[in-house]
Amino acid sequence: MSDDLSTGAALAFTPAELMAYLEEVYPVAVSTGVELAELSTDRVVVQYLAHSRDLRPGDTVSGPTFMWLVDLAAYLAVLARIGRVALAVTSSLEIHFLRKAPRGQLRAEARILKLGRRLAVTTAEVFAEHDPRPVAHATITYAIPGTVPTSDVATQ
């Protein structure tokens, strides 16, 4: 039996339900003004308006802003498939900064490469407004907690 759950699955949330759940488990993300632009079984697209607080010297978007955005897009892609598992956590994030992005609208597109019972491997790209070329590319892996058998739980 294959451990890859990536194909043939339905979404666990509607776009509105996913954003409401994000507000519940990670309210700071929603408070940034990030928007869910697309949700499908194939990908998640989020948009974010980079402000002056997101810039580094040289008036370009900072690396931490890109990392946050790809991590969030990938997290939403995973949650959209596995449902209400808030403790799905980033176990690995590798990012390549391909070119600078000026202040303005950013779009992150995330896809699930493999979804297993304990791990999800995703990829995400960030695009600056009016530029078809990605400004960053990332691979993000999430650990998905399983249920702990009762016999493994320490008793006090």
Q: Which residue has the tokens 């009016």?
A: 130
Q: Which residues pair with 106 in a beta bridge?
A: 48, 128
Question: Which pTM was predicted?
Answer: 0.86
Asked whether residue 135 is assigned to any structural domain, the reply reads yes
In this prediction, residue 87 carries a pLDDT of 85
Q: Looking at residue 66, which CATH number applies to its domain?
A: 3.10.129.10
In a domain, 6, yes or no: no
Residue 81 lies in a domain: yes
- DSSP for 106-134, written as a single string: EEEEEEEEEE-SSEEEEEEEEEETT--SE
Examine residue 22 and state whether it is found in any structural domain, yes or no: yes
Give a yes or no: residue 152 inside a domain: no
How many domains are contained in the chain? 1
140: in domain: yes
Residue 1 resides in a domain = no
Whole-number pLDDT of residue 8: 55
CA atoms of 50 and 67, how far apart (whole Å): 13
The answer to whether residue 66 sits within a structural domain is: yes
pLDDT of residue 151: 40
Domain residues for the domain of 117 are 15-145
Task: Chunk the chain into consecutive blocks of 10 residues (it has 156) and report each block's average pLDDT, rounded to whole numbers.
Answer: 55 95 92 95 95 91 96 96 88 96 95 95 97 97 71 40
How many residues does the structure list for the chain?
156
Q: Which helix (H) or strand (E) holds 60?
A: strand 60-61
